[in-house]
């Protein structure tokens, strides 16, 4: 998946970066960077795109984004309003040379290195006992320099042994990327997220990319490893999951609100993506 290269600000006084994001909404352009990114969502909800995966994010979620994995956090619509409740996240950034060349090749770090290689697809860490990791990440900024470094290594060691995880992307994305492709794909993403409730034709979205329909279909599948129709359905179903969990609307209302034209197709596509029907999902999350 093509994306925009993103430069994480370096601090010559520390070997890794601790970043606090506190804004009306999260940075929402598809981007990538060579650093691994461990992020704890404290406040805010929306849709996480990582590689070829689409996921819901909510307060308390903890995940790692692999080196050069394209990703974006698209906040829910309410965060773009004037009275946004605001978002808040804590992130740790480091790369393979942050602690010295060959550091992760040490025999004692074999488990951590294998974990970081697997994290190239992105990983969400799931309960139980997630509170232990959440508190460690919340408290790391208050520690002194050496204690802060030790705490990061302890977090990595615990993450490397975490058994209850969900991969964010089916594949790694490590090929060279052009900024022009990143801009084009980002425009398609933003258009989709804005217009998903209405019927989006291939002609419309191909025009957004400034391409013919056949060229756009080949381009989109090449860079996301899925068709645009499948991507659009996954976006709509991801939003439907939130409504099934948080609202009292019936399934038929949700079906049309997220852009499906008939209930039978909604039920069929929902089961294909989620492995269960909308009514089964509502019973599962309630």
What average pLDDT does the segment 90-106 reach?
95
- Look at residue 161 and tell me whether its pLDDT is greater than 80: yes
pLDDT of 266 reads 97
The backbone torsions φ and ψ at residue 141, rounded to the nearest 5 degrees and listed phi first, read -70, -25
What average pLDDT does the segment 54-81 reach?
95
Tell me, yes or no, if the two domains 4-167 and 196-285 fold the same way. no
- Look at residue 264 and tell me whether its pLDDT is greater than 60: yes
For residue 123, the cross-strand partners are 64, 167
CA–CA dist 213, 205 (Å, integer)? 8
pLDDT of 1 reads 44
User: 144-155 burial by CB neighbour count: b if 16+ within 10 A, else e?
Assistant: eeeebbebbeeb
- Look at residue 6 and tell me whether its pLDDT is greater than 70: no
pLDDT of 2 reads 46
pLDDT tens-place string over residues 168-203: 998 766 554 555 667 888 899 999 999 999 999 999
Average model confidence (pLDDT) for the chain? 91
- Look at residue 223 and tell me whether its pLDDT is greater than 70: yes
- Look at residue 163 and tell me whether its pLDDT is greater than 80: yes
Q: Are 159 and 220 in contact (CB under 8 A)?
A: no
pLDDT tens-place string over residues 99-146: 999 999 999 999 999 999 999 999 999 999 999 999 999 999 999 989
Q: Are 186 and 29 in contact (CB under 8 A)?
A: yes
| Complete DSSP assignment for 186-231 | HHHHHHHHHHTTS---HHHHHHHTTS-HHHHHHHHHHHHSS-HHHH
pLDDT of 176 reads 43
pLDDT of 102 reads 94
Band the pLDDT of 16: cuts 50, 70, 90: very high
Query: How many Å separate Cα 76 from the centre of its chain?
Result: 13
Domain boundaries, the chain: 4-167, 196-285
Which helix (H) or strand (E) segment holds residue 147: the answer is: helix 145-160
Architecture of domain 4-167 in this structure: Sandwich (2.60)
Class of domain 196-285: mainly alpha
pLDDT of 184 reads 87
pLDDT of 230 reads 95
């Amino acid at each position: 998946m093509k994306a925009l290269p993103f430069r994480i600000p370096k601090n010559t006084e520390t070997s890794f970066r601790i970043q606090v994001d506190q804004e009306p909404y999260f940075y929402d352009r598809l981007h990538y960077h060579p650093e691994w990114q461990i992020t704890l969502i404290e406040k805010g909800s929306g849709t996480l795109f990582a590689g070829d995966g689409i996921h819901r994010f909510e307060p308390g979620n903890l995940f790692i984004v692999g080196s050069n994995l394209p990703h974006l956090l698209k906040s829910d619509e309410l965060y773009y309003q004037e009275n946004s409740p605001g978002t808040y996240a804590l992130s740790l950034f480091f790369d393979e040379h942050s602690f010295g060349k060959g550091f992760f090749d040490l025999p004692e770090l074999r488990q951590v290195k294998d974990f970081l290689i697997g994290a190239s697809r992105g990983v969400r860490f799931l309960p139980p006992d997630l509170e232990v990791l959440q508190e460690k990440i919340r408290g790391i900024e208050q520690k002194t320099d050496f204690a802060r470094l030790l705490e990061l290594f302890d977090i990595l060691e615990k993450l490397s042994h975490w058994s209850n995880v969900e991969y964010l992307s089916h594949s790694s994305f490590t090929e060279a990327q052009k900024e022009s492709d990143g801009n084009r794909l980002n425009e398609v993403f933003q258009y989709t997220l804005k217009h998903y409730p209405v019927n989006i034709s291939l002609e419309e979205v191909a025009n957004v990319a400034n391409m013919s329909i056949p060229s756009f279909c080949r381009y989109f599948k090449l860079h996301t490893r899925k068709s645009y129709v499948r991507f659009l359905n996954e976006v709509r179903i991801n939003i439907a999951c939130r409504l099934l969990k948080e609202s009292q609307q019936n399934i038929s209302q949700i079906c049309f609100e997220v852009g499906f034209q008939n209930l039978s197709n909604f039920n069929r596509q929902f089961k294909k993506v989620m492995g269960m029907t909308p009514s089964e999902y509502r019973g599962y999350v309630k």
